[in-house]
Amino acid sequence: MFQLYLHQEQVIGELRQGLMDGHKRQVLALATGGGKTVVAAHLSRSAVEKGKRVLFIVDRIELVGQAVATFHALGLQVGVLQGDNTNYSREDDIIVASIQTIRSRAAPDWVHVVIIDECHILHQAHIKLMETWNALPFVGLSATPLRKGLGKYFTNLVRGPSVRWLTDHGFLVPCRGFAPAADAVAEALKGVKKGTTTNGYDYLEADLAAAVNSKELVGDIVTTWQERGENRPTLCFAVNIAHSKAIRDDFEAVGVTVGHIDAYTEAPERKRLIQGFRDGDIRILTSVNVLGIGFDVPDAACLILARPTLSEALHMQQMGRGIRTAEGKRDCLVLDHSGNTLKHGLPVHFEVPDLDDGEKGKAEKRKKKDQEEFILCSHCGAVMERTEMTCQECGLDRPDRRPKVSYRDGDLVEFGAADEDIATGDDARMLFYRRCLGVLVAQGKKPGAAYFLTREKFKGFEPPKHWRGLLPDNPTPEVARWIKSRNIRWAKGQGKAK
């Protein structure tokens, strides 16, 4: 039996209090890593101990098996209502059902509690069930309860701990995000049509697919991963099948083993690819709409965002695939070729809003929130909040003004990478110089290279001669990565010159 954490006990208590207050339709907002299924299992066990039966509804077929395994681990007798796998009886404590099967068949009417997993994906079959069983308590589970009008069907929202809290307390790993220039992304997306999609109001796929094939927007995904991806197990989110396969082919052309998965991938092949990814035989999985909800491989430590989206929920679902903890995993690296992190931020920036009741004023207010809340570090290209004065990635102070945007040959770029004057204190430059010394000494290389590296990093700045007497500072992974990336670019330049 699973042991509940304190934050899980607290949300269970709040749900019970909500029921006592008369709320028969409640949403539990619990982030990835917060233990939604574990909480649901304990709620179910508590109901069973009182002689009640539970119906647990999932949105996708692949989630059925995961839920069944969790409930079995709690010692519950579990039935299944899912297509040809249907097998349940009145003796079962809980029935795990897919909403697709409920849509085509009648749900068992002897249950007393209904739990809807991923309730932000609310089907008409859900709504019909809630209207028919209006006396039963319903609990919706979601990490991103952002759906427009969700508040018309649920009257109470219970918020679990935030992603930031879960990260700070070790339940999730932190993210390090690098993104292309915001102005370049906005320019490339200007002609892309928007409208109602399966993700809500978003870019229309046909137009979007054409736009992301622009090297100026997405950059050289393969080269960027080679330079910054650290050979990590990686998930890539693409726009459509052709886009995903093109990314796969480009990677395989340079010897990286990649698997492509889409909605038409047969179950045995999908299982083989995912197992290959788990085993390390496949380094990258690229997909279209199938590696979001329900994909649970915590070893994934790098994400490639190649699908621009206006949907904060979709963005957070994708980001959630990389922030689960795993042995030896210190963080998740996000290579953003879509501009999504500049629109929506990193996982720690997400906060659960009140449930949307469908009123236009509230929806418009959220839609019009400041799109420049997130910016890029002018030195390392990391995503940071506009209010931050120091980059958490490289430790350098941000400029007093927003520099001009520069981008070259589709690379992921840095603000302030052109020949403009960078307003940065000498202390930051000196620290970078000393950290370069630390890396060079550790690698057994000549310390004089620190002069040229610092001059290259800070355009127009000449390290003073007396710095030659400075002692090395502890080498940091960030500075080491920058030097490695710079060396790769230099080597490639030499190869082209030949």
Q: What are the φ/ψ torsions at residue 244 (nearest 5 degrees)?
A: -60, -45
Range of the domain at 448: 427-486
- Last residue within a domain, chosen from 161, 194, 216: 161
Q: How many domains does the chain have?
A: 3
Q: Give helix 241-252 / helix 221-228 axis angle, nearest 10°.
A: 50
Q: Are residues 208 and 249 in the same domain?
A: yes
Enter the pTM of the model. Answer: 0.76
Q: Are residues 29 and 150 in the same domain?
A: yes
Q: Are residues 48 and 107 in the same domain?
A: yes
Q: Are residues 103 and 58 in the same domain?
A: yes
- Cβ–Cβ contacts within 10 Å for residue 435, how many? 25
Give 10-residue mean pLDDT values along the chain (498 residues).
86 96 96 89 91 94 86 90 93 94 89 95 93 95 93 96 93 88 70 87 91 66 89 95 91 94 89 93 93 77 94 93 94 92 91 86 49 72 79 68 36 37 57 89 87 84 81 81 82 67
Count of CA atoms in the C-beta half-sphere (13 A) of 97? 27
Torsion, Cα of 10, 11, 13, 15 (10° steps): 170
Rounded distance, CA 360 to CA 476, Å? Answer: 49
Q: Are residues 318 and 374 in the same domain?
A: yes
Q: What is the pLDDT of residue 287?
A: 93
Q: Can you name the residues that pair with 94 across neighbouring β-strands?
A: 54, 78
Q: What is the pLDDT of residue 218?
A: 52
Rounded distance, CA 281 to CA 436, Å? Answer: 35
What's 61's domain CATH number?
Answer: 3.40.50.300
Q: What is the pLDDT of residue 482?
A: 85
DSSP 3-state of 326 = coil
Rounded distance, CA 362 to CA 299, Å? Answer: 38
314 near 289, Cβ under 8 Å? no
Q: Are strands 194-197 and 200-203 parallel, antiparallel or unpaired?
A: antiparallel
DSSP 3-state of 37 = helix
- Last residue within a domain, chosen from 385, 418, 452: 385
Burial class of residue 33 (count of CB atoms within 10 Å of its CB; 0-12, 13-18, 19+):
buried
E strand or H helix that includes residue 237? strand 234-237
